[in-house]
Amino acid sequence: MTEPAQPPSARSETPPVAVVAEDLAGMRSQAFGLAARAGLAPFFCPVKARGVWRRMPAAWWPAPLRAIDPPVDPGTADLVFSVAGKGGAVGAALRSTTRRVVQIQNPRMRLDRFDLVIANRHDEIAGPNVLLSRTALHGVSPALLAAARAEWLPRLAHLPRPLVAVLLGGSNGRFRLDEAVGQVLAGQLADMMRRDRVGAAVTPSRRTGDAVCRIMRDTLSPLGGWVWDMQGDNPYLGLLACADAVVVTKDSVSMVSEAVAGTAPVMIADLPGRSRRIGLFLRDLADAGRTRPFTGRMQDWPVTPLDDTITVAAEMRRRLGLG
């Protein structure tokens, strides 16, 4: 999705919304995805802490608009989407009688500083101005998947069917996906290809280490598997749209959320580590019958797309009186 850096033209009939957040892909995708579903025209206002404020939790900033550089300019937009802690601190400071602020994710500060807070169930917060979603917000709509399928189905036609898409995350502060873990996962995927006679298409992410990508390529390519080399067109949406099943590593709430918005069964690949919040998130999806653990075998069961973003967007419009 193209993300405009400047406010839409005043002649535009689509209401603008300023997205105030750190310049991180996951934060941008949630805010821009919500805007797309809500029929709003987003533009990005990056938040970057300066000096000593970089080392202090944003909720403690006494004057958030002076703790950042460059300044955030929402222009004439009367609606702001703030994201996460730093974005939330700045968003709360921008709120006024003529500018409403919708906070995405738990801001870790008083919730009544926002007109609306949209968080996940696993954030374990509640309040009269809180909307809860089972999944992360995103823009992976049925229309987007249909377009991706039309584009990528011919480009993936050389791969065996059933086709399993594999979405790789990477090590973070909670989970580990290093060479040793990658070797185990690659072995499981290879066993699945042999025993269940399926194809595999792997797409790494920015956090996937080069060594893990190499292990996947060396292990799966001799069996007819395909591993994207991070060059050229990104196949991510195409794989979600065309796959008969999906395996996704458990470290990324965003990737899992986008995967379950499609029509294929989703299997969760375990990683060493621990996160209470992600554990609650994955349990919700498993209880809904939308995911199962990846055990090294292809699994197929009846599923329906699970995507709370469109419901949240509609309720947000209703509460804000956007029609």
Query: What are the pLDDT digits (tens) for 206-248?
Result: 999 999 999 999 999 999 999 999 999 999 999 999 999 999 9
Among residues 166, 177, 148, 313, which one has the least CA distance to residue 251? 177
CATH of domain 16-137+311-320: 3.40.50
CA gap 277, 72 in Å, rounded: 30
Question: Phi and psi of 279, rounded to 5°?
Answer: -60, -45
What pLDDT score was predicted for residue 4? Answer: 55
Distances (CA, A) of 188 to 132, 181, 269, 296: 35, 11, 10, 5
CA gap 7, 44 in Å, rounded: 8
What pLDDT score was predicted for residue 316? Answer: 98
Tell me, yes or no, if the two domains 16-137+311-320 and 142-293 fold the same way: yes
Phi-psi region of 168 (alpha: psi -120 to 50; beta: other; left: phi over 0): beta
**Domain coordinates in residue numbering, the chain:** 16-137+311-320, 142-293
By the 10 Å C-beta count (0-12 exposed, 13-18 middle, 19+ buried), 156 is classed as: buried
Q: How would residue 2 be classed by pLDDT, with cut points 50, 70 and 90?
A: very low
Q: Does residue 5 carry a pLDDT above 80?
A: no
CA gap 239, 210 in Å, rounded: 21
Average pLDDT, the chain: 95
Q: Tell me the per-residue pLDDT of 257-277, one tens digit each, with 9 for 90 and over.
A: 999 999 999 999 999 999 999
CATH of domain 142-293: 3.40.50.2000
Q: Tell me the per-residue pLDDT of 173-214, one tens digit each, with 9 for 90 and over.
A: 899 999 999 999 999 999 999 999 999 999 999 999 999 999
